[in-house]
Amino acid sequence: MRNAPLALSLDLIARAHAVPVPDDAAALQVMTDEELKPALDAIIAQRAGGGDLWVFAYGSLMWRPEFDFAESRIGTVRGFHRRFCLLQRRFRGTPERPGFVLALDRGGACRGVAFRLPGTDLRETLMPVWRREMRGRGYVARWLPVATEAGTVSALTFLVNRDSDRYSGRLTEPEIADRIATACGHLGPSAEYLFRTVEACEALGIRDRHLWTLQALVADRLRAGEAGADAP
């Protein structure tokens, strides 16, 4: 059975965040490719055996992978769950109004997409996704088993870095929704990131109560903001 129609929409988000937000490079210092290479080499060295190269996606990588892939499969990682627990003070938020992005935190399970990447040079193949996920120091990388209908694969997976000052801990969903509703960075609103992830999960047949609850809560907050602005 499919969920009810989404309460959140791109139109609602655009009305709430109509004013562009300039980039502030000081809000989050990102690592250079040279700084990223040692950890990338280390994770490549930890890869067991040869065979196909896989990356597990559970958030924006599902709808904007930005890498070539030869195959995709719906799969499940066990021992970690998808949650908005990583603060975003740049890109989708500001220091004054930080947003959230998704990460995998301890416990439970997560359904997402396993992508098989072509190419024989592992560093060259992985650097684009490594740069995107690791330059902000919010994640740690692990090779995790992903169960798919066609068998289990070992995939590079990005977990939340609990030692990072961006890790929020386990806030309540209303607290998370408060921040997502108000946050916007130069790449767009935090609510758009939420919407596109929910939209991707719906299209793939992935059910996630956390995402579904949050999109309804954020929609309520955006509509309440409109009603307040229209009040005499």
Residues designated as active site: 133
- Strands (DSSP E) contained in 126-220 are 139-148, 151-160, 184-185, 188-189
Burial class from Cβ neighbours inside 10 Å (0-12, 13-18, 19+) for residue 201 reads buried
Kindly state the DSSP code that residue 139 receives in the 8-state scheme. E
Contacts of 126 (CB under 8 A, 6+ apart): 40, 44, 53, 55, 117, 156
Residue 196 burial (CB count, 10 A): 17
What letter represents residue 129's amino acid? V
Supply 74's token pair.
């719906």
Q: How many helices (H) and strands (E) does the chain have?
A: 7, 7
Coil vs helix vs strand at 67: coil
Q: Please report the sign of the dihedral spanned by the C-alpha atoms of residue 67, residue 139, residue 31, residue 88.
A: positive
Q: How would you label 81-109 residue by residue, b for 16+ Cβ within 10 Å and e otherwise?
A: bbbbbbbbbbbbbbeeebbbbbbbbeeee
